[in-house]
Structure 1
Amino acid sequence: MDVQRVRQFFKEVGLEWNNCVGVCTDGAAAMTGRIVGFQVKVKSASNGPTSFTHCMIHREALAAKKISADLNAVLEGAVKVINFIKSRALNSRLFANLCDEMESNFSTLLLHTEML
């Protein structure tokens, strides 16, 4: 990704680089390169402490390739349950009510998307 395009977007919508405190990428070399990567360019443009994280969906996809068949089956089951809950608004509301009744700290789920 070109930093010039990001600068142009920031200018168009009225964002300041100093407010950029975190960037999440897919971990590609073009993003993470220490000399000419996107992260280096963002750090120089933001002039402040900016943290960089690797996208959680990509982490799961990478981990799923290396885990055992038994653990992968459990992961696939969990993904099916999550996608069922997130597939309809009623399911999400019922899940949120269940979490509230159990006094859970969290009451929402993220929809799982498959990475190729």
Structure 2
Amino acid sequence: MKSKILLVEDNEMNRDMLSRRLLRKGYQVIIAVDGQQGIEMANSESPDLILMDMSLPVMDGWDATSLLKQSNDTKHIPVIALTAHAMSSDREKAFQAGCDDFDTKPIEFNRLLDKMHMWLKRT
């Protein structure tokens, strides 16, 4: 059975590129364009893993992840933060918000796949 990935990304070009590559690797991909929609889709779709952009409209990825990790329905879902901010403070902020892992943009696809595989094996 295909793993279901929730991609929360507001940038259309990033979203299209990453979702196409994940589909080619055999993942089922569902998409949200802001943090609020990401929370709603995590609750309704029960993804196996969430790729969360941190800089999002409506509700940013920090707040969305924090809310997901506070909910009994979604706290078990691994969240990988995706951000162009590569500072160690951003990494720390992602973990404080509840992210399980962290990856920088531009995405190095094979590195991201390795992280995804590691977390999907644990679920």
Assess same fold via TM > 0.5: no
TM-score (norm 2): 0.28
Structure having the higher Rg: 1
TM-score (norm 1): 0.29
Q: Choose between structure 1 and 2 for higher RCO, CA contacts under 8 A separated by at least 6 residues.
A: 2
More helix per residue = 1
